[in-house]
Amino acid sequence: MDDSTRRVFTGNLLAFSLGAAPSETPRTRVLPRDGFEPAYLRLERSGRLAERARELYRVFAECRLCPRRCSVNRLKGEKGICQATSRVKVYSHHAHFGEERPLVGRHGSGTIFFSHCNLLCEYCQNWQINHRGDGFYESDERLARRMLDLQSAGCHNINLVTPTHCLPNIVQAVRIAAGRGLRLPLVYNCGGYEPLEIVRLLDGIVDIYMPDFKYTDGRMAALYSSGAQDYPEVASAAIEEMHRQVGELAVDEQGIALRGLIIRHLVLPHDIAGTGKFVKWVAEKLSRNTYVNIMAQYRPEHRARKYPELSRRTTSEEWNQAIAWARQAGLTRLDRL
Ligand code: SF4
């Protein structure tokens, strides 16, 4: 039995032991690679990508790019909760082989890590980048060159990690890069705390959305993510809109993602993330065939040890229970299962 067969078998065994039906065979939408064109190219040809970039730059003047709605003028150097200015700051860019399988393929996901973050979780695993803001300032022009470098390296996509607070720079850089031959799909790899009006502005720009869904209880979000009490409502509205725009994950003939939605959910100790409610929401509001990555890798980082309930790793029993809940809800496309 190979590794993936063993994991499906184990998942089904767990589901049975908890009274759930075994998983159905996932449906995978396959699109021909030949003739694939990333969404932003069409928008650029119509002139609407330039309009979106201008519109987003105007938002910098009274920043409400995220639900914190700080209303600071980032063009004049004012800083809000995320501490970002109107110049984009990048921590690293490289081919990443640790992402979800349909993003990685043979040559890796072309990942760009942006410095700063709008959620600022107490247990942040990348706190040096997201809280402390480690990284280097870059022009939009330079950011475009980084995208083209990743394409030249053979990466299958441009994976924008924590992008929302620097969206105006990103869209402008995509315009520049598209004019010089960028043809890779964009992956919007975000925390899920995105306002609906901003997600609507991304319609026709982003091919693959990969939001987190971190909590289903606003009290947990308030406590562990810097007062983001409205996280569950904001994230569910944003992800429903993402699903409306791009649908279920579609791949090419080699299994490489071209378009669609992937949701990540980190299992936290003591079910702080509210996993059972999350998987039911996916099945009822989106589709049971939604590609979901239920992640087990939580470890106490940054200020997590201030909270006894977050001071240990997620146990294998907690992760198994999360998978069993997903099976019970009828989810069929669980990453690496
Ligand atoms: S992106 Fe930053 S400055 Fe803008 S509203 Fe969000 S936290 Fe505030």
119 Cα–ligand 1 center, Å: 10
Does residue 276 have a pLDDT over 70? yes
Percent of the chain residues past pLDDT 70, beyond the cut: 93
Q: Is the CB of 81 under 6 A from ligand 1?
A: yes
Return the percent helix, strand and coil in the chain, to nearest 5: 40, 15, 40
Query: Which atom of ligand 1 is closest in space to residue 72's alpha carbon?
Result: 3
Smallest CA-to-CA distance from 287 within 227, 247, 230, 242 is with: 247
Query: Which atom of ligand 1 is closest in space to residue 116's alpha carbon?
Result: 2
Average pLDDT, stretch 30-41? 94
Q: Please state whether beta strands 109-114 and 158-161 pair in parallel, antiparallel, or not at all (unpaired).
A: parallel
Structure-token pair, residue 290: 């939604």
Q: C-alpha angle 95/319/313, rounded to 5°?
A: 75
Domains of the chain with bracketed CATH: 32-334 (3.20.20.70)
Average pLDDT, stretch 250-267? 97
Nearest CA to ligand 1 atom 6: 66
Distance, CA of 65 to CA of 49 (rounded, Å): 17
Q: Please state whether beta strands 186-190 and 333-334 pair in parallel, antiparallel, or not at all (unpaired).
A: unpaired
What is the pLDDT, as a whole number, of residue 336? Answer: 80
At a CB cut-off of 8 Å and minimum separation 6, what does 240 contact? 285, 286
Give CA 140 to chain center in angstroms.
Answer: 22
Smallest CA-to-CA distance from 116 within 92, 150, 149, 81 is with: 81
28 Cα–ligand 1 center, Å: 37
What count of other Cβ atoms lies within 10 Å of the Cβ of residue 4?
Answer: 11
Does residue 174 have a pLDDT over 70? yes
190 Cα–ligand 1 center, Å: 14
Give CA 1 to chain center in angstroms.
Answer: 32
Query: Which atom of ligand 1 is closest in space to residue 118's alpha carbon?
Result: 7
Q: Is the CB of 117 under 6 A from ligand 1?
A: no
Does residue 181 have a pLDDT over 70? yes
Structure-token pair, residue 234: 């904001």
Average pLDDT, stretch 255-262? 98
Q: For the segment 282-315, what is each residue's pLDDT rounded down to a tens digit? A: 999 999 999 999 999 999 999 999 999 999 999 9
Average pLDDT, stretch 25-40? 89
Q: For the segment 100-139, what is each residue's pLDDT rounded down to a tens digit? A: 999 999 999 999 999 999 999 999 999 999 999 999 999 9
Query: Which atom of ligand 1 is closest in space to residue 69's alpha carbon?
Result: 5
75 Cα–ligand 1 center, Å: 12
- The mean pLDDT value of the chain amounts to 93
Distance, CA of 326 to CA of 293 (rounded, Å): 10
Answer for the pair 127, 301: CB distance below 8 angstroms, yes or no.
yes
3 state DSSP class of 206: coil
Answer for the pair 255, 245: CB distance below 8 angstroms, yes or no.
no
What is the pLDDT, as a whole number, of residue 23? Answer: 52
Answer for the pair 11, 332: CB distance below 8 angstroms, yes or no.
no
Answer for the pair 269, 312: CB distance below 8 angstroms, yes or no.
yes
| CA dihedral of residues 229, 235, 241, 245 (deg, nearest 10) | 150
Smallest CA-to-CA distance from 292 within 21, 112, 17, 23 is with: 23
3 state DSSP class of 92: strand
Nearest CA to ligand 1 atom 2: 82
Answer for the pair 190, 210: CB distance below 8 angstroms, yes or no.
yes
Task: Indicate the top mutation candidate among 57, 65, 83, 120 to test ligand 1's pocket, ranked by most ligand atoms within 8 A of CB.
Answer: 65
At a CB cut-off of 8 Å and minimum separation 6, what does 18 contact? 321, 324, 328
Higher pLDDT, 274 or 7: 274
Distance, CA of 191 to CA of 12 (rounded, Å): 29
Does residue 250 have a pLDDT over 50? yes
Q: For the segment 236-249, what is each residue's pLDDT rounded down to a tens digit? A: 999 999 999 999 99
Distances (CA, A) of 165 to 5, 93, 267: 40, 18, 25
Smallest CA-to-CA distance from 160 within 224, 207, 225, 213 is with: 207
Q: For the segment 59-111, what is each residue's pLDDT rounded down to a tens digit? A: 999 999 999 999 999 999 999 999 999 999 999 999 999 999 999 999 999 99
69 Cα–ligand 1 center, Å: 6
Does residue 2 have a pLDDT over 60? no
At a CB cut-off of 8 Å and minimum separation 6, what does 197 contact? none
64 Cα–ligand 1 center, Å: 6
Does residue 5 have a pLDDT over 60? no
Distance, CA of 207 to CA of 160 (rounded, Å): 12
Q: How far apart are the first and last CA of the chain?
A: 13
What is the pLDDT, as a whole number, of residue 24? Answer: 62
